[in-house]
Amino acid sequence: MASGIPYTPKPATDIFTPYQTDINRRECKRIVPMRVLALGLGRTGTASLRAALKELGYTDTYHMMSASVENPPDCLCWMDAFAAKYEGKGKFGREEWDALFGHCQAVCDWPAVAFAKELIEAYPEAKIIITTRDVDSWHASVMKTVNWRANDPELKAVANFDWAAGLYHPMLRKFWKYFFNDDFEQSGKERFHDYYKEIRELVPPGKLLEYRVSSGWRPLCEYLGEPIPDKPFPRSNDADGFVQRCRTQNRKQMMNVIFRALVVGVPVVATALSATFAYTHHLPKVAQNTSLFTAAS
């Protein structure tokens, strides 16, 4: 637990987000082999690639949505990883990666890209893919989606009260700080070029697939040694859909907070009021009158 942040269970009152599981990955082990590291930056077709790998029979592909939507306690593992790499606290190696990714045969998207070198070293048996696209269109897409989300005041507000948002928002901010120096608008394109250069230098020639999802099934399947499915290549997670999904998530988490306040908060307030009434009821009459006069003033 390099970050020092303890695990806390999902509140029973979080009824508006039943799709969010509560698995403490810190206690998990690897149950399937890691086969693919897709280390292209987010917004280069990573969600489509995740869907494609599922179609090819890969047992889950880890994606940012795994932590942001599907199992929020994963964010604790990511905070541990950031603490170990960027803050010099504790360690995060193959054992910890296996705990986080042990149920997956592939990994893609951010925040995994912040640990590309570590993942390549941890899983030398895995095939490496980097999804990519035109840098200008990529930058524009991230500005409208993940950069907006990293600076979303609504998410920041609900994170103060909601279990899942309280796990996800600090992790997303940590990633934005360390990977993009918290200045994506000005430095994002340079970081794009530097990052892909780093990956090409890390992976030996012939062991890396540079892939655009617009090219469809053939280059992906040929590289992985898989038969080409007789169906269109999946397309998912467009910018408009991303923003709408995030806003819907905010609303559901706000509803969790309101419901918890109604279930837990109202009885607490009622108890406090009853105790206050009982206390003032037994005060000497002069003291009560003094209190009333002070309140009226």
pLDDT per residue of the chain (297 residues) written in tens, 0 to 9: 788 999 999 999 999 999 999 999 999 999 999 999 999 999 999 999 999 999 999 999 999 999 999 999 999 999 999 999 999 999 999 999 999 999 999 999 999 999 999 999 999 999 999 999 999 999 999 999 999 999 999 999 999 999 999 999 999 999 999 999 999 999 999 999 999 999 999 998 789 999 999 999 999 999 999 999 999 999 987 888 899 999 999 999 999 999 999 988 655 434 544 554 454 444 443 333 333 223 333
Structural domain boundaries enclosing 83: 25-226+237-264
In a domain, 139, yes or no: yes
CB burial readout 265-284, b (16+ within 10 A) else e: eeeeeeeeeeeeeeeeeeee
CA dist 30 and 100 (Å) reads 8
Q: Which two tokens stand for residue 204?
A: 């030996």
In a domain, 231, yes or no: no
Angle between helices 184-202 and 163-180 (to 10 degrees): 70
In a domain, 97, yes or no: yes
In a domain, 42, yes or no: yes
CA dist 129 and 199 (Å) reads 10
| CATH, residue 258 | 3.40.50.300
Predicted TM-score (pTM) of the model is 0.87
pLDDT at 236: 82
In a domain, 270, yes or no: no
Q: Look at the chain and report how many structural domains it folds into.
A: 1
In a domain, 126, yes or no: yes
In a domain, 9, yes or no: no
pLDDT at 205: 79
In a domain, 154, yes or no: yes
CA dist list (Å): 133 to 24, 104, 174, 194? 35, 25, 25, 14
With CA atoms as reference, report the closest residue to 120 among 183, 42, 36, 196. Answer: 36
CA dist list (Å): 175 to 90, 141, 194, 289? 18, 18, 17, 58
For residue 112, the one-letter residue type is A
